[in-house]
Amino acid sequence: MSRTPAERFSENAAAYAATMVPSLRPIAAEVVRRADLRARERVIDVGTGTGHAAALARGGDREVHGIDAAPGMLAIARREVPDVDFAEMDFAALGYPDASFDAVIAVHALLFGTDRVAVLREWRRIAAPSGRLSLSVPGPDAVTPTAIYADVYDRHGIDTSDRYPTAESLADLAADAGWTEVTVVADSTTAIVLEDEEAFRAWREIGSRGAATADYTPEQHRALTDEMLAATPRDASGAFRIPFGTLYLTACRAG
Ligand SMILES: C[S@@+](CC[C@H](N)C(=O)[O-])C[C@H]1O[C@@H](n2cnc3c(N)ncnc32)[C@H](O)[C@@H]1O
């Protein structure tokens, strides 16, 4: 049986923390800024991973929670982020009563849900009346890794049909789940930056790409990674820079 995304994240948590988190930090800061958090609010970071967005939500006497289905990620979060209550949970079936939080935040987690409208409906359930949602996802397609690796993926028979959302399709998901005042803003300048080949190869081991190549032999993996390396632009400092545009969504639970 193929492993769930959370199982793959759990196994690769240390590599994720080293390679992805530095690129996601500015995105997490923007998600938290857009959440417009106030003093003493109850905040939850769903799909918290290593907890770096939850860490940014602290302060102002707020009560901050973080949940994730990957115990390996939570182990890092608990070690690195004190004052946050972390719990292992499926974000599609949260163990909190209705209206438990003033703000729900989620950095690059939603797309791992199989029924995204149902997931957004569950996040709305735990939001208080007038509670806010602030989240990010990668997208749209033109500014994601799929764009620079299309030829490589084609040669390796990797299915890229599960495309990233557009601003419009993301907004529709939230509206269908009952959120109101839905706004989506696109930033095409964000990127995954990997300082050298070692970091690039570690990045290749993690995340959603793992699902498409789960049956690959080590030789096939190496060949794919070599071709991806050759296709990746480098910045002025020589670091690999993979386009990874961001869609920021904010919404409100009607009071
Ligand atoms: C790309 S990572 C983002 C993590 C974190 N928000 C960050 O900014 O680094 C996606 C996270 O969603 C978690 N995840 C995937 N499916 C989940 C589910 N059904 N329930 C809870 N967490 C899940 C993964 O374990 C992983 O930590």
Q: What is the mean pLDDT of residues 15-24?
A: 94
Q: What is the mean pLDDT of residues 157-185?
A: 93
* Number of the ligand 1 atom closest to the C-alpha atom of 49: 27
pLDDT score of 205: 78
Atom 25, ligand 1: residue with shortest CA distance: 6
pLDDT score of 125: 98
pLDDT score of 210: 58
**pLDDT surpassing 80 at residue 174:** yes
How far away, in angstroms, is 236 Cα from ligand 1 center?
31
* Number of the ligand 1 atom closest to the C-alpha atom of 90: 20
Greater pLDDT, 212 or 229: 229
Q: 1-15, 42-56, 92-106: which range is least confident on average? A: 1-15
**pLDDT surpassing 60 at residue 1:** no
Count other Cβ atoms within 10 Å, centred on residue 196. Answer: 10
Atom 4, ligand 1: residue with shortest CA distance: 49
Atom 26, ligand 1: residue with shortest CA distance: 49
Best CA proximity match to 108, nearest among 5, 253, 247: 247
pLDDT score of 207: 53
Instruction: Name the pLDDT band for 206 (thresholds 50, 70, 90).
Output: confident
Mean pLDDT of the chain: 93
Q: 21-35, 145-159, 206-220, 232-246: which range is least confident on average? A: 206-220
Instruction: Name the pLDDT band for 157 (thresholds 50, 70, 90).
Output: confident
Mutate to test the pocket of ligand 1, among 67, 73, 78, 123 (most ligand atoms within 8 A of CB): 73
Q: Give the DSSP per-residue string, the chain.
A: -PPPHHHHHHHTHHHHHHHTHHHHHHHHHHHHHHHT--TT-EEEEET-TTSHHHHHH--TT-EEEEEES-HHHHHHHHHH-TTEEEEE--TTS-SS-TT-EEEEEEES-GGG-SSHHHHHHHHHHTEEEEEEEEEEEE--GGGSHHHHHHHHHHHTT----SPPPPHHHHHHHHHHTT-EEEEEEEETT-EEEE-SHHHHHHHHTSSTHHHHTTT--HHHHHHHHHHHHHH--B-TTS-EEEE--EEEEEEE---
Report the CATH superfamily, name and number, of domain 5-144+163-194+241-252: Vaccinia Virus protein VP39 (3.40.50.150)
Q: Going by C-beta distance under 8 Å and a sequence separation of 6 or more, which residues neighbour residue 209?
A: none
* Number of the ligand 1 atom closest to the C-alpha atom of 106: 6
Which tens digits make up the pLDDT trace of 25-56? 999 999 999 999 999 999 999 999 999 999 99
Q: Going by C-beta distance under 8 Å and a sequence separation of 6 or more, which residues neighbour residue 246?
A: 27, 30, 136, 137, 138, 139, 186, 187, 190
Mutate to test the pocket of ligand 1, among 4, 9, 23 (most ligand atoms within 8 A of CB): 9
Atom 27, ligand 1: residue with shortest CA distance: 49
Q: 91-95, 98-102, 109-113, 154-158: which range is least confident on average? A: 154-158
Instruction: Name the pLDDT band for 218 (thresholds 50, 70, 90).
Output: confident
Instruction: Name the pLDDT band for 215 (thresholds 50, 70, 90).
Output: confident
Q: What is the mean pLDDT of residues 100-121?
A: 97
Which tens digits make up the pLDDT trace of 72-93? 999 999 999 999 999 999 999 9
pTM for this one? 0.94
**Single-letter amino acid, residue 177:** A
